[in-house]
Amino acid sequence: MDDLIAEFLTETSKNLTDLDADLVKLEQNPNDKDLLSQIFRIIHTIKGTCGFLGLPRLEGVAHKGEDVLGLFRDGVLEVTPEYVTIIFESLDRIKYILSELEETGSEPEGDDSELIAKLAAIYDSTKNNDSQIEGMISIDDLVAIGADLSEIDKALEHNAALEAAQAEGSAENNADTEELDTSDKNGDEELLPENVTELKQAAPPVKTPVKAPVSEQDAGPKKKSLGTQSLRVNVDVLENLMTMVSELVLTRNQLLQILRQQHETDFSVPLQRLNHVVSDLQEGVMKTRMQPIGNAWAKLPRIIRDLSMELNKKIDLKMIGEDTELDRQILELIKDPLTHMVRNSGDHGIETPEERLAAGKKETGTIKLEAFHEGGHIIIQITDDGKGLAVDKIRDKVLSSGLATEEELSDMSDQQIQKFIFNAGLSTAEKVTSVSGRGVGMDVVKTNIEKIGGSIDLISTEGKGSTFTIKIPLTLAIVSAMIVESSGEKFAIPQLAVRELVMTSIDGENRIETIKGTPVFRLRDKLLPLVSLEEVLKIGDSMPPIAPKAVPQINDNDAPDETEKSAKEKEKEAAKTENPNAKYLSKYIVVTQVGAYDFGIIVDRVFDTEEIVVKPVARILKDIEMFSGNTILGDGKVIMILDPNGIAKSTGNMDTATSSEQDTDEIYSDVASNKAALLLFRAGNKSPKAVPLEVVSRLEEIKLQDIESANNRMVVQYRGKLMPLVPFSASQAIPEEGSVPVLVFADKDQSMGIIVDEIIDITEQRIDVQVAAQEDGIIGSAIIDGKATDVVDVGHYLNSVNTDWFKDHDDSPFKSGGEADEAGKRILLVEDSPFFRNMLTPLLQVAGYEVTTANNAIDALKLCEQGRIFDVIVSDIEMPEMDGFEFAQKIKADSNWQNIPMLALSSHATPQDMDRGREVGFTNYVPKFDRDNLLNALSETLSKNVG
């Protein structure tokens, strides 16, 4: 291809991309003169260049487009969506011709007369309204009669150059548009003398409107000066550079490895320097490959605009963090998935203006695209405030397509069901539009993102909108990897996929268990499926006999009472083989995450992490899914890089859509602050007990000789006061001497201590109390850290001390105004945290109330609509979606609950909060942990209300 044409193509395609974005901006901002001039300039350049290169089709379209843009610029024509659409059409035509030109080297056959006629029609429409530019029409007519435009333009350019020379030194050196406009006339004068008179007349009035925008154009060059700071480099050169640096990194690693083995050597200082320089170099070269993500977004405004026109929706696209940079290789790979998702949001997500108004939303929907860095990853979020994902529809679709059974679905949360959209063949769009709804899409998006080591997640609330979160690595070329060993062979696992490492033991908490031969591991409160690297890679067989037996060995120890027996077996085994327990004692589980799916890979040993350069595997090995590549380690050995995706796939049925929901739940519960920090301890029997850390004021070790007896109770002098102590359980053996751990609870100015056997840990968990306890002092049991744990009702203990002990002091206990009054009173408890729901419900029940709970304000409002009646509403303030204030306002404003007294619960009440609470209609404000106060306030409120 002609070098000139190649250069022209590069230049033009860049310009056209800019143009797309600019035009969308223009449509929103029709009065932006700078923008107009810029758009005009670009089109003008295209027109000028292609005339010069002899591309008549292109030039014809560009010329007409320029005419119409000229009218915008001069303010003769108003910028309306219709006109912009036609301009876009011309741009598309130009792009089409350009792409053909790129492929074949010449303009394609075709006829643009229809488009040209449209543009001409717009252009003509103005002439009747504005006699001032009547003179321009003659140029138009010239085109119509088929005058040779390229010749005219050549003449025009020539004239322009002359004029520029004349205007040398004048301030108008940037005003090429003006010059051309002027020279237009001159050019025509010379070439077509017949029109001279007409044009001469026309010239002065035309010139006047042009002047104004031109002067404002002077702001233009400032931006352009940035251009001189950068230069264009062929991508191949950069790729090559990157490869070389990768090699250098490997060599550096090798040198460092050698250095580590030799202690005193003259090389150490220069090698350290080399190390630093190489690191810097690597970073530098990496930077050259970095491109702002905005490059991948450039097309989106146009797509959204076209979409909104086509579907009659009003959509506002917000883009945040366009400057966030990432590797161009990754950029290329996510471009299409991103485009697809934004298009989806526009098509499926955002409703029509009517629907939106009906749903009480703003007419214009918003799609927000946001990119930012987070710990070695780029996070891209696509948020829309549309209708969200309809769980019911997805459920039906899932059922009808047989992806899951009704039973399976009934166990799933809404979030889990929504994730089915990532399955192939599931489109929720009711009708197929030209844009989406063809059932291909999200699964492809997901696959593409996972291919580059990223993950995708979604949060969607029906009626509120959806948020898709994509997490992708910064670069693919050099990654940090963890080196593991299995059956004597080393492998690398990309660090990005590794969530954590667990060292297992033969028995006790960290043992691997089996379900019908399948190894699993209890990781905190969930079961982690395990795969043995040895088995998936089939490398155990040829190894010494002990290795393959290792896993089943561990698994034999399922039941605790078998521990002894299996320990004996172990000894036998040990006697048989020379290399005994050490082998299985040091098994590791690499907890790996693929998408939202977690699983563990059992390996024998874990070494350090190393920066590795991913090299593709030989073609004949491409089909092995377990490996994503290979690399050379610092010691010069070749090592295979494991592909977590491949391993997950190989284990079968590892459908990520139905995968560990708890994980995502955890994320949400973080937001909803459902998680509670728990203090784990042991007392009485072996099973662990848990108490919310928030209610514990201190942990103390109290010496036994300090414990005194008063009133038949154990007390200790604590901070100048007597603090009663109670053993956690009656059966608890308290040692004769030494010291005991004590949990100190402080309530108002009273405090008490509970003696326990041992404090185990503090853990942060979402707890789900499963078994309602019969026993006093226990709320129920929950799985915490993989063990059945009793959750302690602190209230019970405080109570026991309070009523018995504090009665003697004047501090009034919560003995309330007559239990009879309270009996059967109905309380609605609105509380988002399951922990507090579980904690408060029994407490209130014990006090004689009939308690109904609602998980959030919205559920509570539903109860209201159902016509349920309560005597008092106790509501949390900090709740997701609708907080307590809003809830109270809604109720007090207009509902059949208007007259029900409301109590606010909060964990951190400030005076302002209290005031606000009273303003919106709460009768009283009670801190969450202040049990006495709550009960007092309740009885007070109720008696008042009755009165």
Partner 1 sequence: MNAADSQIDYGSANNEHSRDYLTIYIAEQIFGIPVLQVQDVLRSQKVTRIPLAPKEVAGSLNLRGRIVTAINVRSKLGLPISNDDSHDMSVVVEHDDELYSLVIDKVGDVLSLKQDAFEKTPATLNPLWRDISLGIHQMQSELLIIMDVPKLIDSVHV
Nearer to partner 1, 541 or 708 (CB): 541
> Does residue number 639 form part of the binding site for partner 1 (CB under 8 A)?
yes
Nearer to partner 1, 43 or 640 (CB): 640
- With CB under 8 A as the contact rule, the residue among 58, 537, 676, 779 that binds partner 1 is 537
Q: Which of 356, 354, 568, 370 is nearest to 468 (CA)?
A: 370
Whole-number minimum distance, CB 535 to partner 1, in Å? 11
> Does residue number 632 form part of the binding site for partner 1 (CB under 8 A)?
yes
- With CB under 8 A as the contact rule, the residue among 87, 250, 647, 942 that binds partner 1 is 250
| Binding characters for partner 1, 598-617, by CB under 8 A (x = yes) | -----------------x--
- With CB under 8 A as the contact rule, the residue among 621, 710, 734, 823 that binds partner 1 is 621
Nearer to partner 1, 394 or 626 (CB): 626
**Tokens found for residue 927:** 């801190």
Nearer to partner 1, 285 or 707 (CB): 285
> Does residue number 244 form part of the binding site for partner 1 (CB under 8 A)?
no
Residue span binding partner 1 (CB under 8 A) among the ranges 343-351, 385-393, 624-632, 849-857:
624-632
Whole-number minimum distance, CB 626 to partner 1, in Å? 6
Residue span binding partner 1 (CB under 8 A) among the ranges 231-239, 601-609, 619-627, 882-890:
619-627
Looking at residue 724, its amino acid is P
User: Which 8-state DSSP code applies to residue 618?
Assistant: P
**CA 520 from chain center: how many Å?**
29
Angle at 131 between CA 126 and CA 135, to 5 degrees: 90
Q: Where are the alpha helices (DSSP H) in 618-723?
A: 644-650, 661-671
Cα–Cα distance for residue pair 705/738, rounded to 1 Å: 8
Q: Is 44 helix (H, G, I), strand (E, B) or coil?
A: helix
Question: Do residues 228 and 221 make contact, with C-beta atoms less than 8 angstroms apart?
Answer: no
Handedness of CA 651, 655, 656, 662 (dihedral sign): negative
| Number of alpha carbons in the 13 Å side-chain half-sphere of residue 588 | 17
- With CB under 8 A as the contact rule, the residue among 43, 409, 539, 715 that binds partner 1 is 539
Based on C-alpha coordinates, what's the Rg of the chain? Answer: 37
Cα–Cα distance for residue pair 832/674, rounded to 1 Å: 7
Q: Is 185 helix (H, G, I), strand (E, B) or coil?
A: helix
Contacts of 315 (CB under 8 A, 6+ apart): 304, 307, 308, 346, 350, 364, 365, 366, 367
> Does residue number 464 form part of the binding site for partner 1 (CB under 8 A)?
no
- With CB under 8 A as the contact rule, the residue among 85, 126, 132, 251 that binds partner 1 is 251
Nearer to partner 1, 600 or 634 (CB): 634
Whole-number minimum distance, CB 485 to partner 1, in Å? 12
- With CB under 8 A as the contact rule, the residue among 224, 232, 516, 637 that binds partner 1 is 637
Nearer to partner 1, 621 or 710 (CB): 621
How many positions of this chain bind partner 1 (CB under 8 A)?
25
Cα–Cα distance for residue pair 756/778, rounded to 1 Å: 15
> Does residue number 590 form part of the binding site for partner 1 (CB under 8 A)?
no
Question: Do residues 249 and 613 make contact, with C-beta atoms less than 8 angstroms apart?
Answer: yes
User: Restricting to residues 165-224, which ones interact with partner 1 according to CB under 8 A?
Assistant: none
Residue span binding partner 1 (CB under 8 A) among the ranges 133-141, 587-595, 635-643, 775-783:
635-643
> Does residue number 358 form part of the binding site for partner 1 (CB under 8 A)?
no
**Tokens found for residue 405:** 């059974």
Cα–Cα distance for residue pair 471/499, rounded to 1 Å: 14
179-215 burial, b at 16+ Cβ within 10 Å, e below that, comes to: bbbbbbbbbbbebeeebbebbeebbeebeebbeebbe
Cα–Cα distance for residue pair 767/517, rounded to 1 Å: 30
> Does residue number 618 form part of the binding site for partner 1 (CB under 8 A)?
yes
Cα–Cα distance for residue pair 770/139, rounded to 1 Å: 84
- Beta strand 758-765 with 850-854 is unpaired
Nearer to partner 1, 244 or 710 (CB): 244
Under the phi-then-psi rule, with left for phi > 0, alpha for psi from -120 to 50, and beta for the rest, what region is 838? Answer: alpha
Residue span binding partner 1 (CB under 8 A) among the ranges 340-348, 637-645, 758-766, 832-840:
637-645
- With CB under 8 A as the contact rule, the residue among 431, 516, 619, 686 that binds partner 1 is 619
Nearer to partner 1, 602 or 639 (CB): 639
Whole-number minimum distance, CB 254 to partner 1, in Å? 9
Question: Do residues 70 and 214 make contact, with C-beta atoms less than 8 angstroms apart?
Answer: no
**Tokens found for residue 695:** 């209610």
Number of CB atoms found within 10 A of residue 260's CB: 10
> Does residue number 245 form part of the binding site for partner 1 (CB under 8 A)?
no
User: Restricting to residues 469-498, which ones interact with partner 1 according to CB under 8 A?
Assistant: 489-490
> Does residue number 623 form part of the binding site for partner 1 (CB under 8 A)?
yes
Nearer to partner 1, 532 or 674 (CB): 532
The beta strand positions in 206-275, using DSSP E, are none
Q: Which of 184, 179, 177 is nearest to 72 (CA)?
A: 177
Whole-number minimum distance, CB 631 to partner 1, in Å? 8
- With CB under 8 A as the contact rule, the residue among 121, 638, 823, 893 that binds partner 1 is 638
Tokens 């969607």 label which residue? Answer: 460
Tokens 């300090």 label which residue? Answer: 706
Residue span binding partner 1 (CB under 8 A) among the ranges 596-604, 632-640, 696-704, 878-886:
632-640
> Does residue number 636 form part of the binding site for partner 1 (CB under 8 A)?
yes
| Binding characters for partner 1, 887-906, by CB under 8 A (x = yes) | --------------------
- With CB under 8 A as the contact rule, the residue among 630, 802, 906, 936 that binds partner 1 is 630
Nearer to partner 1, 508 or 636 (CB): 636
Whole-number minimum distance, CB 561 to partner 1, in Å? 38
Whole-number minimum distance, CB 633 to partner 1, in Å? 9
- With CB under 8 A as the contact rule, the residue among 263, 538, 719, 908 that binds partner 1 is 538
Nearer to partner 1, 224 or 637 (CB): 637
User: Which 8-state DSSP code applies to residue 767?
Assistant: -
- Beta strand 377-384 with 676-682 is unpaired
Separate counts of helices (H) and strands (E) for the chain: 33, 35
Residue span binding partner 1 (CB under 8 A) among the ranges 245-253, 459-467, 662-670, 718-726:
245-253
**CA 627 from chain center: how many Å?**
27
> Does residue number 124 form part of the binding site for partner 1 (CB under 8 A)?
no
Question: Do residues 548 and 592 make contact, with C-beta atoms less than 8 angstroms apart?
Answer: no
Cα–Cα distance for residue pair 752/410, rounded to 1 Å: 46
Q: What are phi and psi of 586, to 5 degrees?
A: -100, 35
Whole-number minimum distance, CB 492 to partner 1, in Å? 11
Residue span binding partner 1 (CB under 8 A) among the ranges 392-400, 459-467, 626-634, 683-691:
626-634
Residue span binding partner 1 (CB under 8 A) among the ranges 274-282, 492-500, 618-626, 874-882:
618-626
Whole-number minimum distance, CB 537 to partner 1, in Å? 4
**Tokens found for residue 408:** 């399976």
Q: Is 628 helix (H, G, I), strand (E, B) or coil?
A: strand
Handedness of CA 354, 359, 363, 366 (dihedral sign): negative
Nearer to partner 1, 434 or 542 (CB): 542
> Does residue number 624 form part of the binding site for partner 1 (CB under 8 A)?
yes
> Does residue number 582 form part of the binding site for partner 1 (CB under 8 A)?
no
Nearer to partner 1, 46 or 640 (CB): 640
Residues that bind partner 1 (CB under 8 A): 247, 250-251, 489-490, 537-539, 615, 618-621, 623-624, 626-627, 630-632, 636-640
